[in-house]
Amino acid sequence: MVTPTVAGWGVALPGAITQDALWEGFFHHHFLPREVARRIFAASGVRRRHAVANPLAEDLSRWSTSRRMRRFAEEAHPLGHRAVTLAMTDAGTGADEIGLLAVASCTGYGTPGLDIRLAASLDLPPDTQRVLIGHMGCYAALPALRSVADYVATHRRPAVLLCVELTSLHLQGPTTDRQQMVSHALFGDAATALVVRPATPARPTTGRELELLDVAAHTDVTASDHMTWEITDLGFRMGLSPRVPDLLAKHLRPTVERLLAGHGLDVPDVRAWAVHPGGPRILSLVEDELSLPPHALSASRSVLAERGNCSSTTVLLVLDEVLRTRRLGQGDTAVALAFGPGLSLYAALLRSPGPHQDRARQ
> Which tens digit of pLDDT belongs to each residue from 87-115?
999 999 999 999 999 999 999 999 999 99
Compute the distance between CA of residue 25 and CA of residue 55 in angstroms, rounded to an integer.
8
DSSP state of 54: -
**pLDDT score of 362 more than 80:** no
Residue 195 bridge partners (DSSP): 8, 160
Question: For the chain, which residues make up each domain, given as ranges?
Answer: 4-198, 210-353
| % of the chain at pLDDT higher than 90 | 90
Superfamily of domain 4-198: Thiolase/Chalcone synthase (3.40.47.10)
Structure confidence at residue 276 (pLDDT)? 97
Distance separating alpha carbons of residues 11 and 163, to the nearest angstrom: 10
User: Residue 356: what pLDDT?
Assistant: 47
Q: Where are the alpha helices (DSSP H) in the chain?
A: 19-25, 34-42, 65-91, 114-121, 141-155, 178-186, 244-261, 280-290, 298-307, 314-325
Q: pLDDT tens digits for 20-76?
A: 999 999 999 999 999 999 999 999 999 999 999 999 999 999 999 999 999 999 999
CA distance 292 to 84: 33
Please state the rounded mean pLDDT for residues 231-242: 95
Q: Rounded CA gap, 185 and 204, in Å?
A: 42
Q: Which of 76-85, 230-239, 255-264, 325-334 has the lowest mean pLDDT?
A: 325-334
Give the residue-averaged pLDDT of 217-246.
93
Which residues are CB-contacts of 158 (< 8 A; sequence separation ≥ 6)?
7, 91, 93, 97, 98, 99, 152, 195, 196, 197, 198
The yes-or-no answer to whether 4-198 and 210-353 have a common fold is yes
The average pLDDT across 164-172 equals: 98
> Would the pLDDT of 359 be above 50?
no
Residue 136 amino acid letter: M
> Cβ distance 358 to 263 under 8 Å?
yes
Q: Which residues contact 160 (CB under 8 A, 6 or more apart)?
A: 84, 87, 88, 98, 100, 101, 102, 148, 193, 194, 195, 196
Rg (CA), the chain: 20
Q: What digits encode the pLDDT tens for the residues 179-225?
A: 999 999 999 999 999 999 998 765 556 678 999 999 999 999 999 99
Matching CATH number, 210-353, of 3.30.70.360, 3.30.360.10, 3.40.47.10, 3.40.710.10? 3.40.47.10
Number of Cβ within 10 Å of residue 353's Cβ equals 18
What pTM does this model have? 0.95
Q: What mean pLDDT is reported for the chain?
A: 94
Res 13: pLDDT: 98
pLDDT at 206: 64
The fraction of the chain above a pLDDT of 70, given in percent, is 96
Contact 232, 255 (CB under 8 A): no
- CA gap 349, 319 in Å, rounded: 12
Burial class (CB in 10 A: 0-12, 13-18, 19+), 48: middle
